[in-house]
Amino acid sequence: MSTRTVLLEADIARALTRIAHEILESNKGPEGLLLLGIPTRGVTLAERLAALIERFSGVRVAAGQLDVTTYRDDLDLQPARTAHPTIIPDGGIDGRTVVLVDDVLFSGRSIRAALDALGDIGRPAAVRLAVLVDRGHRELPIRPDFVGKNLPSARRERVNVALTEVDGIDEVAIDEAPEKKEKR
């Protein structure tokens, strides 16, 4: 298996800066915004976006985390996952514009699970989706509002996001699985 790095630290910083500006523009300012990251790396990205939005607007935007583990419809197909706590900042989600933040958008199943989880917590005024990487291959009609980088990929490939706070480095890499050889 070979690995190819597609985004470095500066690329990720530029993408997040652009996403923060787009969120502010779309929302017509920081008022009523709440960023909820999907563990693990989505939480880190939500915190970085909140800091950037504060830097650009002068207003601190709340950030939290939304665990979707028990809402997934593919638990029987995935290895066991560690549940993370859901942390909703003071004021809750009712009437706010919630921006779900995740590292990679692939099938759309994590986001569908996040929408189900949000429905159990409250009723936001609107829900938006920000992702660092959109790799395509959607199985559900989910489309991100804010994208750092579109990375078309083969299904057999794996997109790996590494962030300093979790992994000690900022980069996005694609693991390229070898082609399966046909049996003769």
Helix (H) or strand (E) holding 2: strand 2-7
Backbone angles phi, psi at 121, to 5 degrees: -95, -35
SS3 call for 60: coil
91-122 pLDDT, tens digit per residue, is 999 999 999 999 999 999 999 999 999 999 99
Look up the domain containing 165 and give its range. 2-74+83-176
Number of domains within the chain: 1
Q: Is residue 158 part of a domain?
A: yes
pLDDT digits (tens, 9 = 90+) for 115-159: 999 999 999 999 999 999 999 999 999 999 999 999 988 999 999
| 12/161 Cα distance (integer angstroms) | 10
The residue type at 61: V
Q: For a pLDDT cut of 90, what percent of the chain falls above it?
A: 82
Bridge partners of residue 173, in order along the sequence = 5, 160
Judge whether 181 lies within some domain: no
Res 72: pLDDT: 80
The domain that holds 27 is classified in CATH as: 3.40.50.2020
Residue 65 lies in a domain: yes
Residue 183 placed within a domain: no
Instruction: For residue 62, give every residue at least 6 positions away whose Cβ sits within 8 Å of its Cβ, in sequence order, or none.
Output: 33, 34, 35, 50, 89, 90, 91
Query: Is residue 162 domain-resident?
Result: yes
